[in-house]
Copies of this chain bind each other. A is one copy, B any other.
Amino acid sequence: MSRRPFHRAGEAERRHDLIAATLDCIFERGLQGATVREIAARAGVTQGLIRHYFSSKDQMLQAAYKEVMAGMTRDAAVVDESLKDARTRLRAFIIANLTPPVVDGRTLSLWAAFISHVRVDPVFAEIHRDGYLAFRTALERLVADVLAEAGQDPDPSECREFAIAINGMIDGLWLEGTLVGDLFSKTPLSGIAIRSVEALLGGIRLTGNEEPS
């Protein structure tokens, strides 16, 4: 009876691997399928190791949720600062949020699995709140820039209202577009969103060139 050989990985690497394995489990079999044993097996370690890096399974799930939110924010907020026009930046922001990798079955699965915990566990609620506010704040600033660029006087509360509405629409389109995506094959979501935002902002065009195929 020989013991299984192993190698000592760096703490950061191990934690990352464990979280990645956790997310794989959640994606494929839901939160219920993310058991300590299954996660350990997928990470190629034994279950005891999990408790060596996380004080409990719950704490590991929280870390995993943080990583998901951070990933979504990172992908979503890639608004190249070099783009001079605010309109172009807002357009890029919308497109980034309504195309892969944000619009993606895996991302949605993870998001949905965790969102059901937001109202049960206060720690999850805080993680969600932080992510939401970061997103909306970025959007609010973009809207203010666009309005200013169009020569309007951007009333802060007005900008916020626009941001809330646009944020809602992006969230909803992202959600339904991913859940029942096959229903949207004909018309790209990002196109709908852009035209809608243009109308919402009072007819400001977000693009000079026609939209791509």
Contacts and interface: CB of A to CB of B under 8 A. Distances in A.
A186 to B, nearest CB: 8
A187 B158 CA distance: 11
Interface of A: 29-33, 105, 108-109, 112-113, 115-120, 128-129, 132-133, 157, 161, 164-165, 167-173, 175-177, 179-180, 183-184, 187, 192-193, 195-196, 199-202
A117 B170 CA distance: 22
Given A164-B184, A169-B168, A176 B132 contact: yes
Contacts of A164: 173, 176, 184, 187, 192
B112 A119 contact: yes
Contacts of A157: 187
B176 A120 contact: no
Given A105-B119, A116-B30, A120-B30, A129 B180 contact: yes
Contact of A116 (B109, B165, B183): B109
A202 B195 CA distance: 11
A168 B196 CA distance: 11
Contact of A168 (B33, B173, B200): B173
28 contacts: A29-B120, A30-B116, A30-B117, A30-B120, A31-B32, A31-B116, A32-B32, A105-B119, A109-B119, A112-B116, A115-B115, A115-B116, A128-B180, A132-B176, A132-B180, A133-B183, A164-B176, A164-B187, A165-B169, A165-B173, A165-B195, A167-B176, A168-B169, A168-B173, A168-B192, A169-B172, A199-B199, A199-B202
A47 to B, nearest CB: 19
Nearest to A184: B164
Given A30-B116, A33-B120, 13 more contacts: A30-B120, A31-B116, A32-B32, A108-B119, A109-B120, A112-B115, A115-B116, A115-B179, A128-B179, A129-B180, A161-B187, A169-B169, A199-B200
